[in-house]
């Protein structure tokens, strides 16, 4: 019987015993044990398998699972190479993803409820009756009393597993910065809670493994909880979560759907994550891989939605992230310079929204941004810098490491993340228009390109959008910015893969649309030119037309485009100010 696909599954025992496909990561149990540090923090983007890995650790080290060890692990690396510490601990597991954050009272009550549930589960799991002082107001007091009693009652140490340690903090940062500071800084209840964990590591807690998405709380907790090692960017743990290329290929072959075309689409959509610049391999987002395979098996074609709605809701946190930059105030990186340039001094005076808008534009236009140094600790009490926003984009999975010469960059890892950036960018643009626009008309115009091979309706819709831009915003627009706007709407279609500055043998195409489904009639390349209104002359327009046509003629000679000669439409759009002055299909 063919194995089931474990999309969204987080219980290791269930995955193994109920015949789900499992990609073995148990060699990392051995690697974790070999570290000198016993208290570890490991951060990864959402939907990367953190909870399943924690549950794997739980089942491996739990004294209650000694009699199930062979059934669960015999076919895996760690079953064939067990460590001395297997089935040696009482497992205390806490997951803070469900903490509610409406106000301070709700936050403390919800945090306390998660703690009490975890301690009660512990008692039930091991048939203990260790006292839980539920009447205490402070979670730290409840934990202190429980650990003190545990030391007297338990014959073996505790392995503490904490999942989503930062989940509620990330939510607070997007709408209630004061409550965040009140909760996690010097006298906050969360800080006191982790101080008790630290004391517990000196008595009954022998090992700790903590996961989350960002290090947003680590600086605030450091003074009281300075006992952990972060292995987030250690190259030897780059592939502890996520799938390697050969593993995705094996998956497709196992389910009898492998083709080079399908593997290439999955590679473009879900691959590209590298969590250390020295890491050899890039990895795929595992949940997105499983989602794609499930949908393909159901429809026998790639899903229209490249990103599942469940995953999209998590990854749309980027909107909150940029709101955070606006809330805290953003300043530019000084790159360790003693003196700022005149341009940097001017940027320092600009509003956070404008600086963040520039960052969005840079990322969309180039696919990357410089990052001299990754921020590993965040202090929301200070004015946040652009490098901090960029670093959070890395931790959340929107960007990943790239090296070119001596420079380190962050780049968008794959097409699915480009779609999320583009969706946010279109919202960013629409919020700054003087009048409402009907995006349904833009979507219909995009379908007209692919279905009828006509670009005039799309050019007219972009012209309509530009006409509703506040003149103060439009003053800074240039050819690249207009291309970014066009791309951000085009990329949202499910029927084509849309590329900007696409490399071919004879140059870089401004925008190209490759169809995702055979029934889509047309593909397109679009050459975009721009003339400022005050600089417009008929002669200049003719030169731009001639230049665009010469470029398209060069692109047509490339092998990739020449092989699509019957379906590939070639278009020129030349904007003069806000007007799509010249639109032509080049035969």
Tens of pLDDT, residue by residue over 284-307, are 999 999 999 999 999 999 999 998
Task: Please determine, for residue 336, whether its predicted confidence score (pLDDT) is greater than 50.
Answer: no
SS3 content of the chain, % helix, strand, coil (to 5): 50, 15, 35
Check whether residue 341 and residue 296 sit in a common domain. Answer: yes
Check whether residue 58 and residue 165 sit in a common domain. Answer: yes
In a domain, 426, yes or no: no
Q: Where are the beta strands (DSSP E) in 64-109?
A: 90-95
Q: What is the mean pLDDT of residues 344-354?
A: 55
Encode pLDDT of 552-573 as tens digits: 988 888 867 766 677 899 999 9
In a domain, 420, yes or no: no
Residue 363: which H helix or E strand, with range? helix 352-366
3 state DSSP class of 63: helix
With 0-12 CB in 10 A as exposed, 13-18 as middle and 19+ as buried, what is 403? exposed
At 326 the pLDDT is 52
Check whether residue 202 and residue 317 sit in a common domain. Answer: no
Check whether residue 52 and residue 187 sit in a common domain. Answer: yes
Q: What is the mean pLDDT of residues 172-181?
A: 76
Check whether residue 294 and residue 187 sit in a common domain. Answer: no
Encode pLDDT of 95-143 as tens digits: 999 899 888 899 999 999 999 999 999 999 999 999 999 999 999 999 9
Q: Which domain holds residue 384?
A: 266-411
Check whether residue 483 and residue 345 sit in a common domain. Answer: no
Q: What percent of the chain has pLDDT over 90?
A: 65
User: Structural domain tally of the chain?
Assistant: 3
Q: Which range is least confidently modeled, 195-204, 243-252, 339-348, 445-454?
A: 339-348
Check whether residue 313 and residue 177 sit in a common domain. Answer: no
pLDDT class for 334, splitting at 50, 70, 90?
very low
Q: What is the mean pLDDT of residues 474-503?
A: 89
pLDDT class for 498, splitting at 50, 70, 90?
very high
User: Rounded to an integer, what distance in angstroms lies between the CA atom of residue 490 and that of residue 566?
Assistant: 21
Q: Which range is least confidently modeled, 320-334, 501-515, 549-563?
A: 320-334
555 touches 509 (CB < 8 A) = yes
User: Rounded to an integer, what distance in angstroms lies between the CA atom of residue 150 and that of residue 170?
Assistant: 32
Phi, psi at residue 137, to the nearest 5°?
Answer: -80, -40
In a domain, 423, yes or no: no
In a domain, 380, yes or no: yes
Check whether residue 495 and residue 405 sit in a common domain. Answer: no
Contacting residues for 303 by C-beta, under 8 A, at least 6 apart: 291, 292, 295, 296
Q: What is the mean pLDDT of residues 499-513?
A: 91
In a domain, 550, yes or no: yes
Check whether residue 447 and residue 396 sit in a common domain. Answer: no
484 touches 456 (CB < 8 A) = no
3 state DSSP class of 93: strand
With 0-12 CB in 10 A as exposed, 13-18 as middle and 19+ as buried, what is 518? exposed
241 touches 49 (CB < 8 A) = yes
- What is the value of pTM for the model shown? 0.89
At 407 the pLDDT is 85
Parallel, antiparallel, or unpaired: how do β-strands 229-230 and 90-95 relate?
unpaired
Encode pLDDT of 158-171 as tens digits: 999 999 998 888 77
At 327 the pLDDT is 47
In a domain, 357, yes or no: yes
CB atoms within 10 A of CB 244: 16
Check whether residue 368 and residue 453 sit in a common domain. Answer: no
In a domain, 258, yes or no: no
Residue 536's alpha-carbon distances to 229, 477, 530, 543, in angstroms, are 60, 15, 10, 11
- Domain with residue 209: its CATH number is 3.40.50.300
Check whether residue 402 and residue 484 sit in a common domain. Answer: no
Encode pLDDT of 87-97 as tens digits: 999 999 999 99
In a domain, 287, yes or no: yes
167 touches 112 (CB < 8 A) = no
3-state secondary structure 156-171: CCEEEEEECCCHHHHH
Query: Which of 179, 210, 232 is the last residue before a domain boundary?
Result: 232
**Which residue stretches of 396-512 are H helix?**
415-430, 439-452, 456-467, 471-474, 479-490
Check whether residue 222 and residue 358 sit in a common domain. Answer: no
């Amino acid at each position: 019987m063919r194995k089931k696909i474990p999309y969204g599954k987080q219980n290791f025992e269930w995955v193994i015993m109920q015949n789900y496909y499992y990609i073995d990561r148990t060699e990392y149990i051995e690697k974790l044990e070999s570290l000198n540090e016993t208290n570890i923090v490991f951060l990864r983007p959402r939907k990367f398998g953190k909870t399943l890995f924690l549950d794997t650790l739980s089942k491996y080290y739990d004294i209650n699972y000694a009699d199930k060890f062979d059934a669960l692990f015999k076919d895996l690396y760690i079953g064939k190479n067990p460590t001395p510490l297997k089935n040696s601990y009482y497992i205390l597991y806490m997951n803070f993803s469900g903490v509610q954050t409406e106000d301070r009272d709700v936050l403390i009550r919800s945090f306390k409820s998660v703690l009490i549930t975890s301690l009660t589960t512990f008692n039930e799991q091991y048939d203990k009756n260790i006292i839980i002082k539920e009447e205490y107001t402070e979670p730290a007091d409840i934990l202190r009393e429980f650990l003190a009693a545990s030391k007297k009652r338990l014959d073996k140490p505790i392995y503490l597993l904490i999942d989503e340690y930062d989940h509620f903090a990330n939510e607070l940062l997007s709408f209630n910065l004061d409550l965040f500071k009140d909760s996690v800084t010097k006298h906050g209840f969360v800080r006191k809670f982790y101080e008790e964990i630290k004391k517990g590591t000196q008595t009954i807690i022998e090992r700790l493994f903590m996961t989350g998405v960002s290090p947003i709380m680590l600086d605030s907790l450091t003074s009281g909880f300075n006992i952990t090692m972060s292995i987030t960017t250690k190259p030897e743990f780059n592939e502890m979560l996520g799938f390697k290329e050969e593993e995705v290929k094996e998956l497709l072959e196992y389910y009898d759907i492998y083709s080079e075309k399908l593997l290439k689409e999955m590679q473009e959509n879900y691959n590209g994550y590298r969590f250390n610049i020295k890491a050899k391999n890039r990895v795929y987002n595992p949940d997105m891989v499983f989602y794609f395979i499930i949908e393909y098996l159901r429809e026998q074609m790639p899903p229209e939605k490249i990103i599942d709605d469940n995953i999209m809701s998590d990854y749309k946190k980027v909107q909150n992230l940029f709101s955070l930059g606006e809330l805290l105030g953003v300043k530019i990186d000084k790159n360790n310079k003693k003196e700022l340039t005149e341009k940097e001094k001017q940027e320092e005076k600009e509003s956070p929204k404008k600086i963040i808008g520039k960052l969005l534009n840079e990322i969309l236009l180039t696919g990357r941004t410089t990052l001299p140094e990754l921020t590993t600790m965040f202090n929301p009490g200070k004015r946040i810098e652009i490098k901090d926003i960029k670093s959070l984009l890395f931790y959340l999975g929107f960007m990943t490491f790239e090296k070119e010469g001596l420079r380190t960059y962050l780049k968008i890892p794959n097409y699915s993340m480009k779609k999320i950036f583009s969706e946010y960018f279109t919202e960013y643009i629409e919020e700054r228009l003087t009048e409402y626009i009907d995006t349904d008309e833009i979507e219909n115009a995009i379908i007209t390109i692919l279905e009828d091979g006509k670009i005039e309706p799309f050019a007219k819709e972009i012209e309509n959008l530009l006409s509703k831009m506040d003149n103060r915003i439009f003053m800074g627009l240039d050819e690249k910015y207009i291309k970014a706007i066009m791309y951000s709407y085009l990329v949202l279609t499910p029927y084509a893969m849309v590329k900007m500055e696409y490399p071919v043998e004879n140059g870089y195409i401004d925008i190209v649309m490759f169809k995702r489904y055979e029934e889509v009639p047309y593909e397109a390349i679009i050459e975009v030119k721009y003339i400022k209104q005050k600089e417009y002359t008929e002669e200049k327009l003719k030169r731009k037309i001639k230049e665009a046509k010469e470029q398209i003629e060069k692109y047509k000679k490339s092998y990739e485009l020449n092989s699509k000669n019957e379906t590939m439409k070639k278009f020129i759009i030349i904007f003069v100010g806000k007007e799509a002055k010249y639109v032509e299909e080049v035969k």
